[in-house]
Chain A
């Protein structure tokens, strides 16, 4: 059974591109349009990896990570930030919130796949 990746981004095209990259490699992809939607989809369960944007309406990525890490089921699930933000201060906030890694947009599909495979073992 394929592992499921939750991609959280307010940009439909980014969600589409993440889906294109990961589905082609055999992963299942669930989409969420912002942090709140991401939390709701995560609560449904079955998620092996979360890929999230930072700047989104409603709830941003780092806030969502904090909320996810407070859930027992997501203590050790890898969460990768996928954002245009590249500042060290923002990365430090993400790391402190519990992010597993930081990918600066635009992403290279091959590199994204490599990182996903790495964090999913």
Chain B
């Protein structure tokens, strides 16, 4: 009974402390709370943990329940051991889950970083700052538009020049026709000269010896007339060739000059429209890449927040360790109560338990990033 009374003095604060700290871990270590309540009821006879229903007045008061100390002690020890085992399992489960989550978050972050790098590369190339000339879409559009404009301008200029050439060819044609007419006149003159020379030769023959010298002149004049006709014929043939060449050139130049400028300008407009669409698509790519970059940056921030939050595992593990230490101390106290002969005094025992459990390594009440202090 001495041990029993000592136990009463010790049992109340133990149970009160047990209820206080076990409250936060009720789901995990409910068995410990039950044990604490049982200790309380065991060492305070007449004050059961669960109030008994009101006794019938006519009946004799029921016998108070009997709790053999050895059996209760063994049951409590079993509960403490089970609670310790469950806490360890809890710690292991959380650590395993956090390890997997961290691996996933790490991979997510890596993917987000790679995604952002790709987006930045696209954005840079779209804006003309890419490392590869081939994917400088903005540059390609600008160069294409410039080349197209130069081509259209050159074509228009060529057409203008061709029109001028057509006019000049018309002039050449007229001059050739004039030359042909002149050759025809020369032919007429030659024929008349030949006829006159023939008449002169006839008259010279009639004159006999006196006309002999005149006949020689008449023959030379006829020979000159014949040569003139030959030259005239050659000139006519050449002029005919020139006329054909001029007409052929005129046809070609007219074809060049009569290019469908409307079609060309329409093609130019269509190409310009296409270039506008390409530019818009390019802008959209750059805009999308920028948005992806922003999202990736937010994702990195979110992953960082998650990494901060996931450190609850470390705090939870330390709190579980501290709770486990409290259970160890409570169990040791139970052992001392069962064998009071070798145990220190109640006050010393409680003080030892208090000292062993007073320092909780985790002061945080939420998962917010902690302070940083440089000495």
A residues within 8 Å of B by Cβ?
A: 11-14, 16-17, 20-21, 24, 54-55, 83-87, 91, 95, 99-111, 115, 118-119
Contacts and interface: CB of A to CB of B under 8 A. Distances in A.
Contacts of B371: 86, 102-104
Nearest to A106: B311
Contacts of A119: 374
B375 A17 contact: no
Contacts of B311: 13-14, 17, 105-107
A101 to B, nearest CB: 4
Contacts of B313: 11, 13
B64 interface: no
Contacts of A14: 311, 314
B343 interface: no
Contact of A12 (B99, B318, B368): B99
Contacts of B175: none
15 contacts: A11-B95, A11-B317, A13-B98, A17-B102, A20-B105, A24-B109, A84-B363, A103-B371, A105-B370, A106-B309, A106-B311, A106-B315, A106-B369, A107-B370, A109-B307
Interface string B163-182: 00000000000000000000
B361 interface: yes
Contacts of B109: 20, 24
Contacts of B370: 84, 86, 103-107
Main secondary structure of the interface of B (DSSP, over half): helix
Contacts of A11: 95, 313-314, 317
Contact of A13 (B99, B318, B375): B99
Contacts, number: 105
Given A12-B99, A99-B375, A106-B315, 5 more contacts: A13-B95, A86-B363, A86-B364, A86-B370, A86-B371
Contact of B373 (A12, A16, A102, A106): A102
Contact of A106 (B102, B105, B113, B314): B314
Instruction: Give chain B's interface residue range (CB within 8 Å of chain A).
Output: 20 to 34
A11 B102 CA distance: 13
Interface in B343-375: 361-364, 367-375
B214 interface: no
Given A13-B310, A107-B369, A118 B374 contact: yes
B361 A55 contact: yes
B102 A87 contact: no
A91 B374 CA distance: 11
A44 B288 CA distance: 49
A86 B98 CA distance: 23
Shortest Cβ-Cβ A-B pairs, 5 listed: A104-B370, A106-B311, A108-B369, A101-B374, A109-B304
Contacts of B364: 84, 86, 104-106
A13 B375 CA distance: 27
Given A13-B99, A14-B314, A55-B318, A108 B308 contact: yes
Contact of B308 (A55, A103, A107): A107
A55 to B, nearest CB: 5
B308 A109 contact: yes
A69 B363 CA distance: 28
Nearest to A21: B307
Point out which of A12, A84, A85, A102 has the most chain B C-beta atoms below 10 A from its C-beta: A84
Contacts of A91: 373
A27 B368 CA distance: 25
Contact of A101 (B308, B315, B317, B375): B375
Interface string B277-308: 00000000000000000000000000010011
A87 B113 CA distance: 37
A54 to B, nearest CB: 8
A78 to B, nearest CB: 9
A105 B374 CA distance: 15
B4 interface: no
Given A101-B373, A106-B367, A12 B315 contact: no
Contacts of A87: 363
A55 B322 CA distance: 11
B273 interface: no
Contact of A110 (B102, B304, B367): B304
Nearest to A84: B362
A108 B368 CA distance: 9
Interface in B87-105: 95, 98-99, 102-103, 105
Contacts of B309: 106
